[in-house]
Amino acid sequence: MLWIFLTAAAAPLQVARNALQRGLVGDAGPWGATLVRFLFGLPFSLSLFAVVALLTPGAAPHFSWRFAAAVAIGGLSQIGATAALLVAMRRAGFAVATVLQQSSLPLAALFGWALLGDALRPHAWAGIALTTAGLAVLSWPRRDQLQGVGLGSALGLASGAAFAVALNAYRQAGLALEPHHAIYSATASVCAAQAIQSAFLVAVLAVWRPGVLGAVAQSWRPSLGAGFFGAAASACWFGALAMAPAGPVRAVGVIEAPIAAAAGRRLFKERLSARQLAGGALAAAGVAITALG
């Protein structure tokens, strides 16, 4: 039962990380806030991996081109997904964007089925259909908000799709590196991905928008908070996944949606309409049913 408590702890930690990142968008922009997630999370992830490595003396990592390609694809997809999520939070609202990002689970199942040959049970397809209906209800904007919310909803769905690619890529990276020690392989893959992501974003921003790097440096205090909460959330997710299948873990992780709604209302004074609440409930139910598949 420990995996349930770890998953329950990961949800508020992830919401806290997203909330801190959202606050950084105004000063550093979405790409600067995206860099914060990886650059300031890397020291905490390295520290976590050092502990895991000490506790896993029998691990025998196998570095290969398959591992490198999977980490690179996952890392670049996660960069795009994070930036899209941060912009979606400002356009469509914190809670709505977070629920839309949950589409990563059914989309990950679809990508895994189409590209990797993962088998899906009938009730998993039912969950995907229910999630799609819920996301359609949730993302349909009012007439007076057509431009802002419409774009925000599209970015939220794009974030979910990119996260789905990253999830499948990271799964492949873990299997390629050390399939017999799940926590060791997962934390090592996260460290490798964050190193690639940090180097890539720093290099691109140094040429494209050097001022963003200065804004990131000036906001180092809240950035450390975002990095810490991100690393802590990842530690809980990986610990839970080492003890239980991904489906039940992600099903319990759906509690992130109501936590995000509460955070959005308290921190950002956001209110959800009855239609948005109904759509969010349908999407959360569909994600849970899909996860159980």
Which residue, chain included where needed, has tokens 């020291």?
Answer: 43
Number of CB atoms found within 10 A of residue 142's CB: 10
CB 90 within 8 A of CB 25: yes
What confidence tier does 38 reach under pLDDT thresholds 50, 70, 90?
Answer: confident
For residues 77-104, give the mean pLDDT: 78
Helix H or strand E encompassing 261? helix 256-268
CA angle, corner 76, sides to 70 and 82, nearest 5? 125
pLDDT by residue (tens digit) across 226-245?
Answer: 888 888 887 777 667 666 65
The whole-number pLDDT of residue 45 equals 92
Residues belonging to the chain:
293
pLDDT by residue (tens digit) across 178-227?
Answer: 888 888 988 888 899 889 999 999 999 999 888 888 888 887 777 888 88
The whole-number pLDDT of residue 191 equals 92
For residues 8-32, give the mean pLDDT: 73
CB 290 within 8 A of CB 103: no
- What's the pTM? 0.76
pLDDT at 135 over 80: no
Question: What one-letter code names the amino acid at 198?
Answer: S
pLDDT at 249 over 70: no
